[in-house]
Amino acid sequence: MTTTAPAHRLSRNARYITWLVSDTAKGLASALVGFAIPLIALFVTDDPAQAGIIGAVGMTVRTVTTIYGGVLADRHRRIRMMVTGSLLGGILALAFTALALADALTFATLLVIEVLLAARTGLFDVAGESALKEIVPADAMGRAQAANQGRDALLQLAGGPLGGLLLAAGAWVVGAVMVVCQSIAGLTAWMLGRRDQDRASDRLGASDAGEGRHAETGPKSGTAEAGGPARAKPSALREAREGFTWLFRRPDLRGVLFVATVINLGFSAALTTVTYALQQAGHSTVTIGLLGTAAGAGMLVGALLAPALVTRVPSGLIVTGGLAVATVAVSTLIVVHDPLAIAAVMVVTVFFIPAVNAALGGYAMVATPTELLGRVNSASMVLGLGAVPFAPLIAGFGLAAVGRGWTLVIAAALCAVAVLLAVTNRGLRALPVESGWTTHAAQFVR
């Protein structure tokens, strides 16, 4: 008689809970600054195009630095990278607070802050995402990604109204809360590193070399094996290229990249257009923040459903169906103008996004070798976000040139193209349920 091993309980995984707290605190800081800077830019310049330039430059810097961030995540201890990233985030949050108190937030200073924050995100956040594979087993990765999506939904739910209230009290208050969030993120990441060191010490006793190799994540580029000579590190560009090359050789993953690029551009352009249009129409930051609350509520309910979907429904079907629903909802925004009606549409737009992200993110995490995970994650992020810097430009210049309606038509058309690419992609359609991810991925290993 055979018995089935009990499913891994994420609620009993102390390392995952610690990682989640750190990542959540960092995510809240990012949500607050992501909400505040575009609106401050609009208040300062009263020009959607200039606000769009700040957003576009920030996304471009983040995309470029993410390439090198993947190399850093595979070269260095990933949890140590999390601590360093939080420390730098706290310093930048302090600088933002000081500029706000000095009434020195202008187009130029906002652009500089945006560039520095984007660079920090690109260089260090890949390490945090990649560390998850060392914390959660493969048979629970889909549920872990779904839980992460639920966390993101809560941040979205709270980030909008919280950001609006904090911004109404003063931009410096946003900066102060960001400092607190980054401090929590850094402290809990440090605790996670200490926990891993203690685990390694228990397993390996007094072996210093063993502690160094197993305390956190897998093998690092350019390190010496025990008893062997150290190898010279290849160039960062070559290492980054290895991640792109591996990804494009996988028929089960490469088709997803093009779909993600187009849908992210369309969805981001639509959301930015609606936000800019409401601000230009004279709505308060609190009202605009409620759109984020509605989206967060939709994502939260969707995230509660996501674990059941990834364990029961083929991932290919989740992706194509979820994107189709989002596209129909984005198209509806063209004829909807009232903030409450827009909020209702946003709920529908994002409802299946947690399940889509959990399916794609979970499968990719399982399919990717640990030693390549940072570079592959950065490659997929770059390709997925590569076109997103154009979203604030489409929104800003579109509103100025052709108005809200036609700008949203462009965004909806981009989403429709993404759905078409997903439906016609055999590799994407073949992705199975969570329990079949490891077996499915193994057939592509060479």
So what's the pLDDT on residue 209?
Answer: 44
Class for the domain spanning 12-214+236-442:
mainly alpha
Q: Supply the DSSP string of 384-419, one letter for each residue.
A: HHTTTTHHHHHHHHHHHHTHHHHHHHHHHHHHHHHH
pLDDT of residue 201: 57
188 burial level (CB within 10 Å; 0-12, 13-18, 19+): buried
What is the tens place of the pLDDT at every residue in 23-48?
Answer: 999 988 988 888 888 888 888 888 87
pLDDT at 216: 43
CA gap 15, 132 in Å, rounded: 10
* pLDDT, position 198: 58
Taking alpha carbons only, the member of 360, 248, 253, 350 closest to residue 297 is 350
Burial environment of residue 241 by CB neighbours within 10 A (0 to 12, 13 to 18, 19 or more): middle
pLDDT recorded at residue 229: 42
In this predicted structure, the answer to whether residue 390 has a pLDDT above a threshold of 60 is: yes
For residues 431 and 252, what is the distance between their CA atoms, to the nearest angstrom?
Answer: 7
DSSP 3: -
By mean pLDDT, which of 184-198, 241-255, 334-348, 383-397 is the weakest? 383-397
Average pLDDT, the chain: 82
Residue 247 burial (CB count, 10 A): 22
* Tally of CB atoms within 10 A around 176: 18
Q: What pLDDT digit, counting tens, does each position of 55-108 carry?
A: 888 888 988 898 899 899 888 888 999 999 999 999 999 999 999 999 898 899
Q: Give the model's confidence band at 218: pLDDT under 50 very low, under 70 low, under 90 confident, else very high.
A: very low
**DSSP code string of 203-244:** HHTT-HHHHHHHSSSS--TTPPPTTSPPPPPPPHHHHHHHHH
Judge whether residue 208 has pLDDT over 50: no
